Amino acid sequence: MMELHYSLNEIDTIVSESIIPKIENNIICLEGRMGTGKTTFIKSICNNLNVVDKVSSPTFSIINEYKTVNENFIYHFDFYRIENKEEALNLGIEEYFYSSNLCLIEWGSKIEILIPENKHKINLKYIDDLQRKLIFS
């Protein structure tokens, strides 16, 4: 487990130096209250992994698919609006989770039972308008 405090203008450095080198699994769950910067953090991960598509929150579409310069895919999920696990299963999420592609998941706690155990968790905590606390496991 790793714990870091960072300012919002340090996100890219934190991601490139402290997060990307530690990614061992293809699933990363980001948790935190509304406004803690989950989507901003995912944008930084995608930028660091050379995504060529526009990265945005999939709050209404639930899943966004991004392509990298190497023609790989990264999947970005936002389960905030999911009401039950059946709704998530109907989206075919197991196919995404068990692919070798990186899956970045916001609000994964809503469907935790469906997410493989072999995953990373990033918990973001709001400290103030400019500071956050990150716990990576």
Query: pTM for the whole thing?
Result: 0.95
> Pick from 94, 33, 37: which is nearest to 103 by CA?
94
Q: What backbone phi and psi angles, to 5 degrees, belong to 35?
A: 90, 5
Mean pLDDT, residues 73-94 = 94
Count of Cβ atoms closer than 10 Å to residue 13 Cβ: 12
Structure tokens given for 19: 């997060």
**Residues 33, 21: Cα–Cα separation, whole Å:** 26
Query: What rounded mean pLDDT belongs to the chain?
Result: 95
**Residues 59, 47: Cα–Cα separation, whole Å:** 20
Assess whether pLDDT exceeds 90 at residue 118: yes
Structure tokens given for 10: 């340090």
* Residue-wise pLDDT tens digits, 6-65: 998 999 999 999 999 999 999 999 999 999 999 999 999 999 999 999 999 988 889 999
**Residues 65, 76: Cα–Cα separation, whole Å:** 6
